[in-house]
Structure formats: C-alpha cells, structure tokens
Chain A
Amino acid sequence: MIYLDHAAATPMNEKVLEAMKPYFLTDFFNPSAAYLPAKKVAHEYEEAKGIIAHTIGAKATDLVITAGATEANNLALSIAESWDNGRILYLVTEHDSVRKVAENHNGVSINVLPNGLIDMADLREKMTDDVVIISIALANNEIGVIQPLAEVSAFIREVRFDRLSRGVRTPIYLHSDASQALNLLDINVARLGVDLMTLNAAKVYGPKGVGALYVSHEVKLKPATYGGGQERGLRAGTENVPGVIGFAKAVELAHEHLNGNRKKYARFKKILLQELEDYELINKTHTLDNFVVLCYNGLDAERLIYLLEDRGVYVSTGAACAASKGVRSHVLTALGLSESEINGSLRLTLGETNTEEQIHEAARIINEVVKTERERTHG
C-alpha cells in the first residue's frame, strides 16, 4: 500500500497509543471525582491540554476540547448568534463545517485569487458592521494553500478601531481552522492575531474524534452543552482523558519532527513533480509542503482513484467528503478551474507513512494509469 491521502486521515503513532493506554485501563478515573488518583488524572489532563496549547503559543485554559474539528468550527462560529443578525464572513474555499454554519447566519463568502490566496480587496468590500466573525483556514484542506492571516488580522484591527470610533458596539473576531497545518507550520496565535483557532488530533497522527478550539479570553462564547461545567463551562461532559493525552503526545512528536518532516515532504514533492508526466500543478505557491494537487485535464479523476486503488495507491479528489457526495469541488471552482479541469484533479498528500522508494513507485504507477486512461478515452 502506498498511502497518499494524509490530509484525510493519518495512522496513529505507536507512541501515542502507548501514552493513551493507561487512561483506558488503570487511570480511568473521572477527573471530577474527589479522591487523589482522580485528582492526578485531572492534573495530567490539564498538563496535556497545556502541551497542546503551548504549540500554538497559548495556555491550557484557552482551549476547549471538542470531539473534532467540525465541532470546534461550529462552536467558534456560534458567536454570531450572540448578536442580532450577526453575520459570518468566510473564505469561499472553507470546509463544509464552516460553510454550512455560515449559510445559516447570513454568511457571505470572500473570494480567492486564482492562486487560492484571499482576495483582500473583496474582504474590505464585504466588511459590514454586522460582521461578528471571519473564518479563514490557515491552510486549505483541498489544496494546502496557506493564507496570510497576519495581514487579515491587521485589517481587522483597523475595523475594530473604526467601529469603536463610530460607536458601533458589534465586536469582530478572527477564526482560523488550523487542522491541516498543526504538524507542518510553526503556529502562534498572537503572531497571527487570531481570536479562535480550531485544532484536530486526527490529522496529526493522534486519535480520531478529538479536537480543540482555542478561545481568546476576549471572546465570550455561549456553552455548546450544559451540564457539569467542564471546559470552562463551554462544553460540559466528562473529559475525554485518553483522547487528550493522545492528542498531546501527537502534537509533541509533530513538533519534534517539524523541520525534518517539512524537508522530507518538500523533497518527495520535488520527486513527484519531476517524475510524473502529462499533468498541470494546481497548487503552485503558498502551499503546505505535503500537498500536491494535480490536474489531468480531460480525464476523470474518480476513475483514476479506482484504478490506482487496484494498484494499491490511495489518493483523493478534493476533500474526501466532497468527492463522495458527487458534487464538484467548491474549492477548485473558486480557483476558476473549468469543469473538465476539476474533474481531472487529484489530491496527493504526503505523510509519515511514505518512503522515498514509495514516491518513485507511486509516480510510476500513476503515470501508467494515466496513460491507459488517455488511451481508453482517445479510442
């Protein structure tokens, strides 16, 4: 198997599993219980949250643990509900867990330039006084394009100043889904100027079903669930201790290998781009090192997926969910690609399971499959 879909899911690191195990078996206590062993678990849980928070330059108390990125995005955008007619602005290329929420809150999308970067002029134009939150993923999940968040937050500071000067009371916050970037970029919430940030364990070789929302102390969210008041009262429910321990371990490992991995993926990407034939590269600049989005114009990428799957190579078209829903990728559409270009687009995302040998092999197999399909379609 050659797995080239690390943006969809990552295998869990052995060390992560080992770190989690005791919290299922022996240290299973409810962190809210009164006896000492439970207190110890509560302490270790907070420590783990601290490790996760630290990688983005935040504190344990800034994080709300969720059951994944989708929930974190939903929670972040729920701030719009606190204000009458609160509006959400979002980048047109955002994940469905942002778009679908925004659509229910007078959401307005901000265009991207043909290279996938935010169109700042469009943002300025669409900034109205009812906008409560702007959601822009740090790195896009279909094309890996990294957005200039610091530039956006500088603009937001201007907007804040302007609103206050005019006596407008509606606040404005910047949210960013960093699910794809946590193990590939050095992230710092203060430097980026974000008020809310979504993190996801499943994309960084941690357990599935665990995520976190960084919430700056200035943002007053309403609780997602009511109950025992866990997670600053924002998300009641007994803590997912093993999940958070695993998340912390995964984040630790990711940061230990951050630079090495980036170099490795950049090298693999270069090999692919050299050895693959007959393609156009879609994500040319400002992109994560492990994202290779290829366009085989005139071919049907879904057919390529099934043919490659038969040869043991696993790739994807756009986001896994978009592909399985039979709808054309809204991300590639936003880049201005034609229908035939979109239909011929493959997403390869490199990761820790890959070796250099695999990359050469993958390039060879993809070339063969593409050649066969070209021959079939031409007659």
Chain B
Amino acid sequence: MAVAEQRTSPQASPEPETWYGIIQQTLKRNDIRLVPYVPDRVLTALIRNLHADPFFTTFPTAREEEAVGIASGAWMGGMKSAVLMQTSGFATLANVLASLVAPSQIPLIMFVSERGTLGEFNLGQSLVCRTMRPVLDSLAIEHHTCTRLDELEFICDRSIKQAVTTQAPVALILNPLLTGGKVFDK
C-alpha cells in the first residue's frame, strides 16, 4: 500500500492520511464539484467517498470520452470537474483529446488509475498501459505519475491550479506505489 506515513499539514478530513482522502480534499479546495467516472477497482474508495460527500456531483458514464465531453461542457458553463478512469479507459481518449480538449484549450483534469505495471497479471492491461504516456506526450499534455503519499497533495493541487490558469489539460496517473494497485487474487 501507500509508502509515506508523514504529512506535515493535517486537514479536517475524515481520511486525510489516505491517497483518496487527499484527492477528495484537494478537489474540494479547488472547487471541483463535478466528477464523472468509469470505475476501477483501485478507485473504489475514492468513488465511494465522493458519492457520500454532498459537495460532489459524481456519477458513472458509459464511456470515458463521454465523461470528457460532460467535463468539457461543464467547464464552458462555469463548473469545474475532474474525470476518473483506469489506464485502458484512457486508451480510448486519443480522439477526444486531440479534437476537442487540446484545440479548445479546455483544462480537463484526469485521474488515471494505472494498471498494467508493477505486478499486472493481465497481458492486455500491461500492453495498453504502454500507450498512455506516448499519447500524452504526442499531444504535449502535462502528466505526472503519483507514487508517494507525501507528494500527492502538492502534485494534485499545483497541477489543478496550473491546468485552470493555463487552460490546458493534465493527467494525474495514480501508480500502484501510491494506491497498492490491483493484484492477482483469484
């Protein structure tokens, strides 16, 4: 599971010491209220807690690009959002990133649970994972791989603020070193 135990700025959060607690609080602090997602096992705790928090409007979509469309429309309407997905879901987004998000300069904030590395048991996941960073790099989309609990708030908070102020998308990749990932269990 998560490696870092120390946090220098404790917050009034129910679970500030977890990666998902930190993300929830960071979203709140940046007034990100809308969170459409396509789920992943690793994201379960985050999704559950967002649903339980009336600050957020969070709901599943049928496809990741649908979530991106909703987030883009909400941004243009004055509401900030973030979308949640896993690696294989990100792999479906090249067209919408290249034809909507990037050319329209929409500050899309993506949280991607990283499958396919550090103990992956599904060959398809491990292959699709290798397409993620090349796609992001080819579109010059900012991305960070989050591996440590003690860096998570800094990376997320700064990245969200940079996305909004520079009107550019960002992908925050949640690595198994942070989340524990998903391991072969049956």
Partners in one complex: no
Binding site for A on B (CB under 8 A): none
Binding site for B on A (CB under 8 A): none
